[in-house]
Structure 1
Amino acid sequence: MSTAVTALERPCRPLFRRFVWHCRYNPKRELWFAWWTTIVFYNVFAVAFFVLSRTQPPPSPGWDPPRVVQWFNHNHYGILVGFGMMFLLTGMTAPTNALIAYSMRRMSISPAFAYSYLVLYSLSAIPGMLLMCIVLTVGAMRPDRDPQLVFWLYDFAFLSFIGTMGVFLIGSLIWMLAILIDRNRVLPKWFGYLNLCNALTEVVVSPAWIFKRGVLAWNGVIAWWIDMVVFGFYTGVFILLLRQMIGREDFGTGPLPDLAPTEHSAAAHMAEKAQ
């Protein structure tokens, strides 16, 4: 028995020692901590919203009060457990926002871009997540309420989540502008235009306040399904690009190492210019 335990511990010890070493000595440990926190948060977010609470994809805005009450009863424990997790882990959005702000501080632009983005996205967790979690938790914890009141909570929760995306619109435009005017090439220019695509999804979702059925309702093809595809792709891309940025980071002030011109290429450029 002891031999088996020892055999299992052997491969774990070097891994643990490497982890401890990186935590103590790696100069990029804060950046990697923020990046891994982003990975964990989005995975927990997906489980809480898509699996446990069943609030995404969103149910129909055209339901009547009895059907809404039935939905709350059916998802009672999933809402409480899923959103309880989100209440505990909401603070994990802070390292993500800080890492994105750091990417902008690395650019050849005014620090105002990074600070504006940081403030906007610190506030965006309220309409973008917390308000919905609070309101639906209130509805789930009191299933004996008046059906009309439960119906109002249902409308208010999903409209706050789907239809109040102005902060995300402005934040995406700030990041886009920062990337496009940056000369340090921290992030590729094409990602700046992808930020514009993400910002436009916040525009087309605004009619969700009006329509109860069709492509522009909060569960419609445009207002949710297409927007979710764009947002999912956008999120995966910026997580990958931030990882590459951390790997290239040299804590300098100019272009990141693998994009900086080498001495040979610079000499060749000067020779071509002389000719």
Structure 2
Amino acid sequence: MTSTLPQAADQAADQAAHRVPPAPSSADDRGPVLRLSRDARLVYLVCAWCGPGVIAVAFAGWLISGVLPFPLGPDHTAAEVVAFYDNGLRVPMGIAVSSIGVSLVIPMLAALTHAMWRTERGVPILTLVQVFAGAVTAVMLLVPMLIMAVAGFRPERDAELTVLLNDLSWLLFITPIAPFIIQNLAIAAAAVRGDGTVLPRWLGYLNCWIGFTFSFDILAFVFHGGPFAWNGVLIFWLALTTYALWLLVTGLVLRSMALRVEIVTDEGVAA
């Protein structure tokens, strides 16, 4: 009888040691989002600000080159297309600036990938989907800029070749929307399924809506004028507005998360 008492006490102690702690009662009780060194948090903040940086730098380049505010459309004549590119250094320099601008999305996607990885439980499948889809979107933003730069490099070439390069650049820029939508849906699923401490749930619903606005862009293959042409209101301007909104909001969400981390030093957790 007396020998069973120590055994029972040991079993009770083992159960208490392995007991799962109670769930936090609110988001404020969960503590910091993650712990980083000061240098790592600085890198995180820089990556977060790259989202709004895409808007500032890319839009500046498009304004310099003349892509904005009135982009070429599929209904422009060959003479108008050639005249656009035969404008000295304006197009090549502007496209060079915009190429740098769209490339800034890569650091922001890296920070977003880490945030999604912190959100998911178990195997981070949605994070991997976002990584691969995001990599494709970054390429599909950059390649059309390079083709426009090629078109402006030798504007004296045959007009039909210049029109071909122009059509290729714009259709590549507008129509490959599937990777963008897949990326939005992966982010949405991770945010909605998470507990809201890393990525807020409203960010998931916003990504669903933004992905829907991209769905019209495939129609640019068909229409040569009107709202569904590649420079139309429901194709170019809607997608440009919502993608810029996505860059701005995502960057600010990542910045907010980086400001809520605990700073870890060699001596321990800093205040």
Q: TM-score, normalising length from structure 2?
A: 0.76
Q: Higher relative CO (CA 8 A, sep ≥ 6), structure 1 or 2?
A: 2
| 1:146 shift after superposition | 0.9
Q: State the identity %.
A: 24
Q: Distance in 1 between matches of 2:38 and 2:198?
A: 25
Distance of aligned partners of 1:27 and 1:232 in 2 relative to their CA distance in 1, 3 Å threshold: closer
CA distance in 1, matches of 2:125, 2:263: 20
The 1:226–1:94 alpha-carbon spacing in structure 2 relative to 1, beyond 3 Å, is closer
What is the DSSP-based 3-state SS (H/G/I as helix, E as strand, rest coil) of the residue aligned with 2:95?
A: helix
CA contact (8 A) 2:74 2:167 kept: yes
CA distance in 2, matches of 1:90, 1:227: 15
1:227 paired to 2:244 = no
1:72 has 2:76 as partner: no
Larger helix share, 1 or 2: 1
Deviation at 1:90, TM superposition (A): 5.9
Post-superposition CA distance 1:178-197 (Å, at most 9, x none): 11111253222222111011
- Of the three residues 123, 126, 130, the one matched with 1:117 is 130
Change (3 A) 1:205 1:89: closer
- Equivalent pairs counted in the alignment come to 226
Q: 1:103 aligns with which of 98, 106, 115?
A: 115
Q: Distance in 2 between matches of 1:41 and 1:60?
A: 24
Question: What SS does the corresponding residue of 1:59 show, helix, strand or coil?
Answer: coil
Alignment correspondent of 2:73: 60
What runs of 5+ residues in structure 2 fail to find an aligned partner?
1-36, 265-271
Specify the SS of the correspondent of 1:217: coil
The aligned runs of 1:2-151 (5 Å cut-off) are 25-26=38-39, 28-49=41-62, 51-57=63-69, 58-74=71-87, 76-87=88-99, 91-109=103-121, 110-127=123-140, 129-151=141-163
Post-superposition offset of 1:65: 1.0
How far 1:250 moved relative to its partner?
A: 3.7
SS in 1 for 2:105: helix
Of residues 116-125 and 147-156 in structure 1, the stretch that sits farther from structure 2 once superposed is 116-125
The amino acid of 1:182's aligned partner reads: G
Task: List 4+ stretches of structure 1 deviating above 4 A.
Answer: 24-27, 86-91
What whole-Å deviation, never above 9, does each CA across 1:104-160 have from its counterpart, x for those lacking one?
012133322222212221222222x22211211111111111111111111111111
Measured after TM superposition, the shift of residue 166 of structure 1 is: 1.5
Gaps of 5+ in 1: 1-23, 253-275
AA in 2 matched with 1:99:
A
Paired residue type of 1:28: R
Structure whose CA Rg is larger? 2
Q: 1:163 to 1:114 in 2, by over 3 A?
A: same
Aligned residue number for residue 260 of structure 2: 248
Q: Is this contact kept in 1: 2:61–2:95, CA < 8 A?
A: yes
Q: Which of the residues 166, 174, 177 maps onto 2:189?
A: 177
Whether the aligned pair in 2 keeps the contact of 1:108 and 1:183 (CA below 8 Å) is no
The CA distance in 1 between the partners of 2:167 and 2:42, in whole Å, is 43
Q: Does 1:164 align with 2:179?
A: no
* Secondary structure of 1:164 counterpart: coil
Distance in 1 (CA, whole Å) between partners of 2:67 and 2:205 is: 30
Q: CA deviation at 1:169?
A: 1.0
Q: Secondary structure at the match of 1:56?
A: coil
Aligned CA distance change for structure 1 residues 64 and 89 (closer, same or farther; 3 Å)? closer
Please, what is the CA RMSD of the aligned residues? 2.3
TM-score when normalising by structure 1: 0.75
SS at 2:89 equivalent:
helix
Paired position in structure 2 for 1:11: none
Once residues 86 and 194 of structure 2 are traced to their aligned partners in structure 1, the CA distance between those partners, rounded to angstroms, is 51
Contact 1:179 1:188 in 2 (8 A): yes
Taking structure 1 as reference, are residues 233 and 246 closer, same or farther at Cα in structure 2, changes over 3 Å only? same
User: Residue in 2 aligned with 1:12?
Assistant: none
Alpha-carbon distance, 1:251 to partner:
8.2
